[in-house]
Amino acid sequence: MANTSDIVGQRNDPEAPRYAGIATFALLPRLEEVERADVAVLGIPFDSGTSFRPGARFGPAHIRENSRQLHPYHQIHDAYPFRDQQVVDAGDVSVGPYGIDSAVRTIQAAAEKLTQAGIRIMALGGDHTIALPLLRAAAAKHGPLAVLHFDAHLDTWDVLHGASIWHGSPFRRAAEEGLLDLDRCQHVGIRGGVYDRTELEDDQRAGFEIIRSEEFQERSIPNIAEQIRRRLGSGPVYVSVDVDVLDPAHAPGTGTPEVAGINTREFFTVLRLLRGLDIVGCDVVEVAPAYDHAGVTGLAAAHTAWELLTLMGLRETAGEAHRS
């Protein structure tokens, strides 16, 4: 039997180029290769809840492939997100495509296994349906959560085509189940169409304030970030990023694209002004590689996950400094 340490192209080979070998997220170790973990990158290849273009089931693999270029040092924050916390790739949830209810149960069970072990989740979707089971798992450990939701769409709609759980309803169901702190939830980047103004009223009852994409033209980004910080407060936060928050010019590979979105520079500038948030879980969803061009969407999603992991590491480092 060959000695695996002698096989060319292993991820732990410092001489291997970043484009070689099997792609874990950012070439991180797998969960089973470490003794402990603070954060697990978890793929959830599920898109049976989508209402328009399918294909986000292939998102986790696409994001991982485009994460090869990620580096260990964050210049803006002067931080090392993979040094200051143990981040691992936990692989994909084994979830089938034929039943939304059973898929949600499977995702929730996998998420609870990690969260109850004290491991925070950075999930790679999949469509936005997956946010509901992830919120259930996070709230079971931390109580009602503030939600920071970057998206073109509200995702607080009700039943569609007979389904109460789909990618347009996760935050409505989460609010109904008591998973959300209704005074601390914030949408950012909203611009998608609605059928009636009552949908905005329903959204408000679900606990959300709205920052529309147009406001990035009318207001300064620091001002927008300050509103987000005030709304979220100091308690536990779940961050959910639908890649369609970005304009299709910056993220064409998604299932429900909407024109007139924000660009990646605006988006990352906001994220970088949110240092100090107590992020207990997060997701990046709705990457559909069949509609992507030159990896534009995959790159945006991979770097979004890296930005969120950096924020999580900064909070971890600050907590350790406070405890010492």
Domains and CATH numbers, the chain: 23-323 (3.40.800.10)
Dihedral in degrees, nearest 10, Cα atoms 151, 152, 154, 157: -120
Q: Supply the pLDDT for residue 306.
A: 98
Q: Supply the pLDDT for residue 317.
A: 66
Contact, 299 vs 63, CB < 8 A? Answer: no
The segments of the chain whose pLDDT lies below 70 read: 1-12, 316-324
Contact, 147 vs 228, CB < 8 A? Answer: no
Q: Supply the pLDDT for residue 94.
A: 96
Q: Supply the pLDDT for residue 5.
A: 39
pLDDT 10s digits, 19-49:
888 899 999 999 999 999 999 999 999 999 9
Please name which of 159, 175, 122, 115 lies closest in space to residue 140, comparing C-alpha atoms: 115
> In this structure, what are the phi and psi dihedrals at residue 48, rounded to the nearest 5 degrees?
-75, -5
Joined together, the tokens standing for residue 64 give 């991982």
